Amino acid sequence: MSWWTDPVHTIAAWLTTLLTGWGLPAWLASLIIQFLGVVVLVSLLMLLDIFLVWVERKVVARFQDRLGPNRVGPWGLIQPFADIVKLLIKEDITPAGADRVIYNLAPIISLMSVLLLWAIVPLAPQILGVDLNVGALYIIAAGALGTLAIIMAAWSSNNKYALIGAFRQVAVLVSFEVPMIAVMLIPTVLAGSMGMNAIVQAQNVPFVFLAPLAALIFIIAAIAELGRSPFDMNEAESEIVAGFHIEYTGMKFGLFYAGELLHAFTFGGFWAILFFGGYRFFGLETLGPLVSAAILLAKAMVGYWFIMWVRYTVMRIRIDHMLAFNWKFLTPLAFVLLMVTALVNAWLRNSNVLIYVLAMLAANAVIGLGVLQILRNVSRRDREKVEGPSQPVAAGQ
């Protein structure tokens, strides 16, 4: 039953004996097996991506009180394949004055920056690409490549709307990176490691109970990083048509679109890993790694659904409001949370679990209420500046 407790390494060991039996040197065999592992992971992700197109369209339809795709196949399940055929046979246009090499490279880097993230996703304790001890920083590094892809796409398409979209998107990305790094340090502090696997292993109590505000800030920063509504400044159809990918046609646009969907799903997954126990779910993960992987994917799908829920419910925020929200609210709050969590953790780490959890929750509640009070005072002062000193409600009208 070793294939059930550790399928990946079992297959790898079998392949190694097979390849070395053919007379290949050991290092070449291990290289081929690692390469195969990457190919299998990426292929499965791209298959999942096709399915995500259907999920996204179906969910947005439900949020908007429609049915969504329902003609091709049962529940419209074959629709995404029809979409892909459509994208593949569309005319491939390169705009005049475009920088050809960069223009063609940008969609590839964009999708690559998302696929890179899956190298550190622990699907199960035994099924993971690599257990980096700097996992949290790695997420930010892969995001930096995504930013780069957006700039490359925008600049090389020789279109001013594309460039405006990229400027806006980079302003958002660079600023929301700050609170994101700060809140990713909170699971790091709680787990004592930046490695994704260690963070999951440390969550006997899911970190969302220890740091609910951090979980909230993480998903807000993630939505901003994804460039989805309410932070979709880069695409803003009514203002700049479609932003940085305005000139892309056919499958090149398809790569951006696939990257965006998979990115949202991936951040749903990281939300689950950092705050909701990753592949752990009431001891079900002990049944085997395949069950663990299914748990993580289900949790990632819930996170993805949450991101879609926000996207199709909340309207776009003006860019100055968005940056003020980030720099004057999220960033200070994230740093205060980090310091308080680190202090409470250092103080109560070795005491009773119940006391520890309650103290963390209390700290979060105090910070949350304090922040709300500060916000109330600030907005009252702003209103008084416009309307004059506040009057009794009844007399004001």
Partner 1 sequence: MSLAQIVFLVVAAVILGSALLVVTTRNLIHAALWLIVTLFGVAVLYALLNAGFLAVVQVVIYIGAIAILFIFAVMLTRADLRDRAPQLNRGWWLNIILALLTFGGLIWLFQSWTGFSKTAADIPAGFDAVAQLGNALISPTGYLLPFEVASVLLLAALVGAVYVAFSRK
Stretch of 135-143, 250-258, 316-324, 374-382 contacting partner 1, by CB under 8 A: 135-143
Residue holding tokens 């209103």? 383
Residues of span 191-220 touching partner 1 by CB under 8 A: 193-194
Q: Which positions ≥6 away from 49 have C-beta within 8 Å?
A: 258, 261, 262
22 φ/ψ angles, rounded to the nearest 5 degrees: -80, -5
Does position 323 interact with partner 1 (CB under 8 A)? The reply is no
Stretch of 128-136, 211-219, 222-230, 274-282 contacting partner 1, by CB under 8 A: 128-136
Does position 102 interact with partner 1 (CB under 8 A)? The reply is yes
Does position 240 interact with partner 1 (CB under 8 A)? The reply is no
Nearer to partner 1, 72 or 132 (CB): 132
CA neighbor of 58 nearest in space, from 71, 43, 41: 71
Minimal distance, residue 366 CB to partner 1, in Å: 26
Q: Which positions ≥6 away from 275 have C-beta within 8 Å?
A: 187, 206, 207, 208, 211, 214, 215, 218
Nearer to partner 1, 41 or 142 (CB): 142
Q: Is 154 exposed, middle or buried (0-12, 13-18, 19+ CB in 10 A)?
A: buried
Q: Which amino acid is at 395?
A: A
Nearer to partner 1, 85 or 174 (CB): 174
DSSP string of 67-117?
Answer: --S-SSSGGGTTHHHHHHHHHHHS-----TT--HHHHHHHHHHHHHHHHHH
Does position 151 interact with partner 1 (CB under 8 A)? The reply is yes
Which ranges in the chain belong to alpha helices (H)? 2-5, 7-21, 26-63, 79-89, 100-117, 135-156, 160-191, 196-201, 207-210, 212-226, 237-240, 250-275, 289-311, 319-324, 331-348, 353-387, 393-396
Does position 178 interact with partner 1 (CB under 8 A)? The reply is no
Does position 137 interact with partner 1 (CB under 8 A)? The reply is yes
Stretch of 2-10, 62-70, 170-178, 239-247 contacting partner 1, by CB under 8 A: 170-178
Does position 133 interact with partner 1 (CB under 8 A)? The reply is yes
**Binding string, residues 21-60; x marks residues near partner 1 by CB under 8 A:** ------x---x-----------------------------
Minimal distance, residue 96 CB to partner 1, in Å: 17
Residue holding tokens 């992971």? 41
CA neighbor of 207 nearest in space, from 117, 273, 134, 158: 273
Does position 112 interact with partner 1 (CB under 8 A)? The reply is no
Does position 128 interact with partner 1 (CB under 8 A)? The reply is no
Tell me which of 36, 39, 141, 343 binds partner 1, using CB under 8 A.
141
Does position 152 interact with partner 1 (CB under 8 A)? The reply is yes
Tell me which of 87, 170, 323, 357 binds partner 1, using CB under 8 A.
170
Angle at 66 between CA 60 and CA 67, to 5 degrees: 90
Does position 373 interact with partner 1 (CB under 8 A)? The reply is no
CA 14 to chain centre: 35
Does position 234 interact with partner 1 (CB under 8 A)? The reply is no
Chain residues that interact with partner 1, rule: CB under 8 A: 27, 31, 99, 102, 132-134, 137-138, 140-141, 143-145, 147-148, 151-152, 155, 163, 167, 170, 174, 177, 193-194
